[in-house]
Structure 1
Amino acid sequence: MVIPEYFAPVDPSTYTEPEKEKVSLDNSLQLILIESIDNVMYDNIINYESAKQIWEKIEILCEGTEEVQSNQSWILVSQYEAFMAKPKEGITEVFERFNKLINDLQLHGKYFKADEVNLKLLLTLPDKLEQKSSVIRE
């Protein structure tokens, strides 16, 4: 692809009908994207000229780069492997934390078999909940 030394903007009055439709669609999409974000994100995308550029920037702001996503995935797997119930935590709190971790892992494309997940949860419960854990296992 050859990049011209000088980029001269095209006069909108010389656009063909298909070009006018594309510009109109892009403007509509930009408006939708801009109206759907908060002020903090708005400051990051205000200088972009097309809906595609705005969308790509929003994606990076929300999801991070591929390297960031890979690191998040690795951190989540480490948290899963090291997951333990906290000392004075009830079974409901343990389950809520564990369930959130499993959901986050699935969002990052990491899936575990249901029986593995269930066993992991039961093995992380504190000793004071051993009786309930045994009943659930059976």
Structure 2
Amino acid sequence: MTTLGDKSLLLGGPLVWPTITVDGVTRPKEYTELTPAETIQADCDIKAINIILQGLPTEIYALVSQHRIAKYIWEKIRLLMQGTSLTKQERECKLYNEFDKFTYKKGESLHEYYLRFTLLLNDMNIYKMPLEQFQVNTKFLNTLPAEWSKFVTDVKLVKDLHTTNVNQIHAHLEQHKRHANEVRLMHERSSDPLALVASHQMTQSPYQSHQHSYQNSQHQQFVSPYQSS
């Protein structure tokens, strides 16, 4: 007797609906005309179709729902899912490439950098793409800009990168963002001569400024007795 659990329904061949010849005309049997064995097979095929269709995404359901035999539906789904599998592989390659080339964008804050990184990790988790915790943490730290280098070194010394997660590292670094910003500003000024001069003038004491002006005026007023008029 054929049962719902019998894989021959899907793998052994499609359901061939019984026919009957009446007055020389062959037609498919009505359900009420089926033998007990044929009724069981038809019922199992219908149940198999319902089980398959209920578990499908909407876009795939629309492509296979017109079929009325479980075997045909299953073969159509298998072909469609092969295409989906190829798309999944392409998506995985794209995400691995994004992870490999992920870097800090000039001008963004630590928090903005962290959000971009975690969004990428979430996409990779959806596809169940394996990444070691140490690999994730190292990538997050090593792509931070130069002003964070001291604090990155501190994290590597005091944190176990095999067990610490990115959220904890981000929280630790957030405590030092003011100092990192100061280092960044200092680097920007040192690389810009005009900014460096302006910074020097702003930090010069009032006494130094007055003394410098006085020395200049004295120099201008002094005329050597040997200088010709």
TM score, norm. by length of structure 2: 0.41
Greater alpha carbon shift after TM alignment, 23-32 vs 84-93: 23-32
Q: Give the direction of change, closer, same or farther, for the CA distance of 1:77–1:31 in structure 2 (3 Å limit).
A: closer
Residue 137 of structure 1 corresponds to: 156
User: For the aligned residues, what is the CA RMSD?
Assistant: 3.7
The answer to whether the Cα contact below 8 Å between 2:104 and 2:144 also exists between their aligned partners in 1 is yes
Identical pairs, percent: 15
**Deviation for aligned residue 1:135:** 4.3
- State the one-letter code of the partner of 2:47: L
1:24 to 46, 71, 74: 46
Match of 1:126 among 110, 133, 145: 145
CA 1:45 to 1:24, structure 2 compared with 1: closer, same or farther past 3 Å? Answer: closer
5 Å matches for 1:75-94? 75-94=94-113
How much has 1:110 moved relative to structure 2?
3.9
Greater displacement, 99-108 / 51-60: 51-60
| Contact 2:60 2:77 (C-alpha < 8 Å) held by counterparts | no
Moved more, 85-94 or 25-34: 25-34
SS of 1:89's equivalent in the other structure is: coil
In the alignment, does 2:118 pair up with 1:96? Answer: no
What is the deviation of 1:92? 3.0
**Greater relative contact order (CA < 8 Å, ≥ 6 in sequence):** 1
In the TM superposition, what is the alpha-carbon distance from 1:55 to its structure 2 partner? Answer: 4.8
* Inter-partner Cα distance in structure 1 for 2:63 and 2:48: 19
Aligned residue number for residue 111 of structure 1: 130
Match for residue 45 of structure 1 among 64, 76, 79: 64
* Structure 1: gaps of 5 or more residues: none
**Aligned AA for 2:34?**
T
The TM-score with structure 1 as length reference comes to 0.61
Q: Distance in 1 between matches of 2:121 and 2:131?
A: 9
2:90 to 71, 76, 84: 71
Q: CA deviation at 1:101?
A: 2.8
CA distance in structure 1 between the aligned counterparts of 2:156 and 2:127, rounded to whole angstroms: 29
**For residues 110 and 28 of structure 1, do their structure 2 counterparts lie closer, same or farther at Cα, with a shift above 3 Å needed?**
closer
User: 1:105 offset after TM fit, Å?
Assistant: 3.6
**Count, aligned residues:** 127
Deviation digits for residues 22-54 of structure 1 (CA, Å, limit 9, x no counterpart): 1331243256347x63xx555433434335357
1:78-111 superposed Cα distances (whole Å, 9 cap, x missing partner) = 2111111222333333233323333444554542
8 A contact 1:85–1:94 mirrored in 2 = yes
- Structure 2: segments with no counterpart, 5+ residues: 1-12, 19-28, 158-229
Q: Is the 8 A contact 1:91 1:129 kept in 2?
A: no
